[in-house]
Every structure is written in structure tokens, then in C-alpha cells.
Amino acid sequence: MDEIKIFDAELRFMNIIWKNEPIKSTELVSIANEDLGWKKSTTYTVIRRLCERGIIKNKNTRIQSLVKREQVMQHETQEHIEKIYSGSLKLFFTTFLKRKKLSKDEVEELRKIVDENS
């Protein structure tokens, strides 16, 4: 899947699915009501829309994700960097690092990540 666009409310809903999958739709309705304050009709509408977009599947009233959390995180991060930092990863990091001092362990871990991915 190339384009993964999940809106904020859908992301909160997807977090419930990722945490509990596979999950029966009736249980999902109950959790969405408790955690999100959604009515049954709202939950089923969102299930239908996410199914239509290929993000989840609903087979025999059991809901399962077709998209992993990591895929969504990568997409959302890339979209944020494009929108706010004009696609500049360097600008993103320098802005972040000006606001938060990293520990030596964090710096070392980031160095390893950069080395592994360059």
C-alpha cells in the first residue's frame, strides 16, 4: 500500500484494533464506546470506511488490521517532515535537538541507527 492516510480519530481506533486483534466487531463496539465515546453506528461506519480503504478487514465479524502500526508511523512521520520542514530531515533533527538535550546513550543509539541506515 503506497498511500496510508489515517485521520486522528481513526488512528485512536486503530490503536484499539492493533492492541486487541483479531477482535470481534461487537467487542470493538464496546471498547470504542468506553475509550472513544463512540456510538455503535459510528464504530460500524469507521469499520466500513477502513475496510473500503484496505486498512482493515472484517471477515466473519472479526476485525484484523491489514496495515501495521509501523507503516502508519512511517507515513505520518514522512508527511509531517514534508509539510513542516519542507522535506528536510536535517532541519527536523536540528529543530528537535535544539529543544531537547540527549543523553550519551541516546546519542550513541542514534549514531548506530544512522550508521545502519546510510
pLDDT in tens, 5-24: 899 999 999 999 999 999 99
Decide if 64 is inside a domain.
Answer: yes
* Backbone φ, ψ for residue 102 (5° rounding): -90, 150
Percent of the chain's residues with pLDDT above 90? 78
| HSE toward the beta carbon, residue 61, CA cutoff 13 A | 6
Decide if 96 is inside a domain.
Answer: no
Decide if 14 is inside a domain.
Answer: yes
Return the pLDDT at 11: 96
Decide if 118 is inside a domain.
Answer: no
* Backbone φ, ψ for residue 93 (5° rounding): -65, -45
Decide if 82 is inside a domain.
Answer: no
Q: What is the mean pLDDT of the chain?
A: 93
Q: 32 lies in which domain range?
A: 8-69
Position of cell 546510510?
A: 118
Q: How far apart are CA 81 and CA 93, in angstroms?
A: 10
Digit-coded pLDDT (tens) for 61-95: 999 999 999 999 999 999 999 999 999 989 998 89
Question: What total number of domains does the chain contain?
Answer: 1
Decide if 97 is inside a domain.
Answer: no
Q: In this structure, what CATH number is given to the domain that contains residue 53? A: 1.10.10.10
Q: Is 1's pLDDT higher than 50?
A: no
Decide if 31 is inside a domain.
Answer: yes
